[in-house]
């Protein structure tokens, strides 16, 4: 099932279920509890998709693909060779934007911004001190995300508060796919102006979502709507004003945003 959040021409915001024919059936109720599909329908091309939900908190996984270590070492000036346990970090919820919205290059950015195409797990129920098996059952579904990063700030600041948390640095969408299994080999692909620039697979996560959620939940209660990012691999490059960046997660969808200067 594809659950989306959308706005109509009269600025009414709703949740809906999107069919393969690009028809949205409005739903009533709580997507994290009980809801019913109504007879009210909208054509996808006639609505604006919004971020599929808003979390209370978001966590990046740290280095979660082995071949991402080299890039991180270069960015941070470190020499890490192994990943012993998850290293989650906060990503600001004020950085969230949706499908079709602009990613803004801050005017005071020393080195520009880069893409990181990722898969995101959406927590579906309160989660505290769960084991890995229980963690999988606490996920509502998955969506696409672009972990926008400013590398100078990432290297020079003690925390990632602005390097990965500045406004517009978290494009998320276009919807939540509930029938998706990241343990299978689903490609995560980034394209800039139609050219593929990054590719990884959800099955290659060093710490899968079950492990990440279990680890985080030992210390912090996760709430419905909270988001856990997958991480990614490769060596991202800078984007420029006017670029169109797409993040596709195979069997979920494609998230598209434009990059503009502040």
Q: Would the pLDDT of 22 be above 80? A: yes
Determine the average pLDDT of the residues in 152-180.
Answer: 96
Q: Would the pLDDT of 80 be above 70? A: no
End-to-end CA distance of the chain: 37
C-alpha to C-alpha distances, 245 to 91, 97, 103, 203, 242, nearest whole angstrom: 20, 14, 9, 23, 10
pLDDT for 83: 75
With cut-offs at 50, 70 and 90, classify the pLDDT of residue 235. confident
Determine the average pLDDT of the residues in 34-56.
Answer: 97
With cut-offs at 50, 70 and 90, classify the pLDDT of residue 72. low
Q: List pLDDT tens digits, range 102-134.
A: 999 999 999 999 999 999 999 999 999 999 999
pLDDT exceeding 70 applies to what percent of the chain? 94
pLDDT for 68: 64
Collapsed DSSP state (helix, strand, coil) of residue 241: coil
pLDDT for 63: 80
pLDDT for 92: 97
CB 7 within 8 A of CB 23: no
CA 7/CA 72 separation, integer angstroms? 38
With cut-offs at 50, 70 and 90, classify the pLDDT of residue 64. confident
Q: Could you give the count of Cα atoms lying within 13 Å of 170 in the half-sphere of its Cβ? A: 31
Would 2-49 and 51-261 be classified into the same CATH topology?
A: no
pLDDT for 103: 98
pLDDT for 75: 61
pLDDT for 71: 66
Nearest by Cα to 138 from 61, 249, 1, 32:
32
Let me know if domain 2-49 sits in CATH 2.60.40: no
Collapsed DSSP state (helix, strand, coil) of residue 7: strand
Let me know if domain 51-261 sits in CATH 3.90.850.10: yes
Bond into 228 cis (ω within 30): no
Determine the average pLDDT of the residues in 29-39.
Answer: 96
The domain segmentation of the chain, as residue ranges, is: 2-49, 51-261
């Amino acid at each position: 099932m594809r659950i989306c959040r959308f706005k109509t021409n009269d600025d009414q915001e709703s949740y809906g279920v999107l069919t393969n024919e690009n028809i949205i059936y409005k739903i009533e109720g709580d997507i994290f509890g009980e809801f019913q599909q109504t007879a009210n329908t909208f054509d996808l091309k006639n609505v604006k998709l919004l971020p599929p939900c808003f979390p209370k908190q978001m966590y990046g996984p740290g280095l979660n693909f082995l071949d991402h270590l080299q890039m991180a070492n270069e960015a941070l000036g470190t020499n890490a060779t192994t990943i012993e346990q998850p290293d989650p970090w906060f990503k600001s919820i004020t950085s969230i934007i949706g499908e079709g919205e602009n990613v803004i290059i801050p005017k005071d950015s020393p080195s520009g911004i880069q893409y990181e195409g990722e898969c995101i797990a959406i927590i579906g129920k309160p989660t505290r001190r769960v084991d890995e098996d229980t963690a999988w059952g606490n996920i509502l579904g998955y969506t696409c995300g672009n972990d926008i990063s400013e590398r100078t700030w990432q290297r020079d600041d003690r925390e990632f508060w602005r390097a990965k948390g500045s406004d517009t640095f978290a494009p998320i969408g276009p919807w939540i796919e509930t029938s998706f299994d990241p343990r299978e080999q689903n490609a995560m692909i980034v394209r800039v102006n139609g050219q593929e620039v990054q590719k990884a697979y959800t099955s290659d996560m060093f710490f899968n979502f079950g492990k990440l959620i279990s680890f985080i939940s030992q210390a912090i209660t996760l709430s419905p709507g909270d988001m856990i990012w997958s991480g990614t691999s490769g060596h991202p490059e800078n984007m420029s004003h006017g670029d169109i960046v797409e993040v596709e997660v195979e069997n979920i969808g494609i998230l598209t945003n434009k990059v503009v200067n502040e």
